[in-house]
Copies of this chain bind each other. A is one copy, B any other.
Amino acid sequence: MSEKALHYLKENRERLLNKLSDFLAIPSVSTDSAYKGDVDQAADFIVTYLKDIGFDEVEKQETAGHPLVYAAYNGAGEDAPTVLFYGHYDVQPVDPIEQWKSDPFQAVVRDGRLYARGSSDDKGQVFMHLAVFEAYMKTEGNLPLNVKVCIEGEEEIGSENLYNILQKKKEQFQADFAVISDSGMAAKNQPTILYGLKGFTGIEITVNGPDHDLHSGMYGGAVRNPIIALSHILASMKDENEVITVDGFYDDVEPLSDAERKLMEQAPSEDFVEATGIPETVSEKGFTAKEHTMGRPTFEINGIYGGYQGEGTKTIIPSSATAKITCRLVPGQDPEKIQELLEAHVNKVAPAGVTVEVKKEKLSSKAYKVEPNHPLIKKAAASYTRAFGKETIFIRMGGSIPVVEWIEEIYDMPIVLLGFGTPEDRLHSPNESFPLDSFDKGMETLVYYWNEINK
């Protein structure tokens, strides 16, 4: 019965791509309050789409932050399984805007890729699911399984309100299993199912010195420079071997088995140097770049600022300096404990003459791992392989999807991470894009998968 749906998707490809472009044109940047109205508009787009498809219930649920879209389709009958589909319609900021080759909110196709902020993360992949639902409804008049939809607008700012909603409305979102397409393949056209994700946490460090910027000639020699103090603190947290030098940071890390390290080495991966333009890769002493990215915790400074950043020179001792830090965690590590350890370290090494503030990132999540042999995973892998004509591989990835940990914790249901992005998509960066191959074959995969589920 899936042929009709597949045919429909081919017939309507251009219209669907245009509709996706309309969706991508909405600058739903959740981290910047200036875009609040646009984020809201993106939610409305989904609400309208789901109603048009013919879902039984469609709700735009207001939260303390950005709205969440809930919808349910029960037409497959009581015996049919119910899937909870999760995705997010919010996107990362676009700066540095000057590095974009085309308007981030005006989707354009170049060399078989659709360029726009959110084309891969995650508006593009959310849209593919909706289009497949549309195809089944328009051709069969129903879906092969019952569906619950949960599409939020706060993933890029840590899904601040989602956890409470999932807890409070446990019955509403209850399902037999969950499917999430907010990840990528190990390589273009290489069917990939994630069986492991990293956890996430972070802190922001602010070093405060004088209560105003000082003339470096009059006060230099009497006052601790907050930027130098911050540099000493940061330099003490990770060494030149990429080893995190915060007491206890590795204590609970689940060691990588030789089997897993082998799997990771065999997993296809892009050439990091070629993809990023760096002179050479660096990774934790004793581990390869692949092992570190997939299976070892990381510590990154995402941003730093303090003092004069304008044109020319300004001879001051600045009054403060700030660094934003985030860590990716592996199975075994507890995010709250890691934050405590980071804070304790900062307070331990903070020099005299300044005061130090540590702000803890609200977003925190544990790492996630699932059993690759679960029947639902195997059906997904089979559909994936059929659509792409290539054997599906199973890998762990360095990214973090907090909702995965929360769904597991609250509902204890199997979660299938079925991602269609590629390593070249430039998520979170200028010139984000998504391959049209993934768009076509990804939808084909979903058509097969929904069809398989109810057999």
List A residues at the B interface (Cβ < 8 Å). 31-33, 92-93, 95-96, 99, 157-158, 184, 198, 200, 202, 209-225, 227-228, 230-232, 234-236, 238, 240, 242, 272, 276-284, 287, 289-294, 296, 298, 300-318, 321, 323-324, 326, 328, 351-355, 361, 363, 397-400, 423, 426-431
Contacts and interface: CB of A to CB of B under 8 A. Distances in A.
Nearest to A217: B399
A427 B293 CA distance: 48
22 contacts: A31-B311, A31-B314, A92-B314, A93-B310, A93-B314, A212-B426, A214-B276, A216-B298, A216-B300, A218-B293, A218-B399, A219-B276, A220-B293, A221-B294, A222-B290, A222-B292, A223-B276, A231-B301, A302-B314, A302-B316, A303-B306, A303-B318
Q: Which of A218, A222, A316 has the most CB of B within 10 A?
A: A222
Give the copy number: 2
B307 A313 contact: no
A245 to B, nearest CB: 11
Contacts of A302: 216, 307-308, 313-318
Contact of A218 (B283, B352, B397): B397
Contacts of A283: 221-222
Given A32-B312, A429-B212, A429-B215, A317 B300 contact: yes
A217 B232 contact: no
A133 to B, nearest CB: 28
Contacts of A224: 242, 278, 282
B238 A228 contact: yes
Given A218-B293, A222-B282, 15 more contacts: A209-B276, A211-B277, A221-B289, A222-B272, A223-B282, A224-B282, A227-B303, A240-B351, A279-B354, A279-B355, A302-B308, A302-B315, A303-B314, A313-B324, A314-B428
Q: Which of A221, A307, A316 has the most CB of B within 10 A?
A: A221
B216 A328 contact: yes
A430 B238 contact: no
A220 B280 CA distance: 14
A210 B276 contact: yes
A281 B223 CA distance: 5
Nearest to A430: B212
B428 A280 contact: no
Given A228-B238, A235-B235, A399-B218, A315 B304 contact: no
A427 B215 contact: yes
Nearest to A202: B313
Contacts of A33: 311
Contact of A215 (B209, B280, B352, B399): B399
Given A215-B427, A300-B220, A324-B308, A281 B397 contact: no
Given A272-B219, A282-B352, A307 B304 contact: yes
Contacts of A242: 221, 224
Contact of A428 (B234, B287, B316): B316
Contacts of A314: 31, 92-93, 302-303, 324, 428
Nearest to A322: B309
Q: Which of A298, A304, A398 has the most CB of B within 10 A?
A: A304
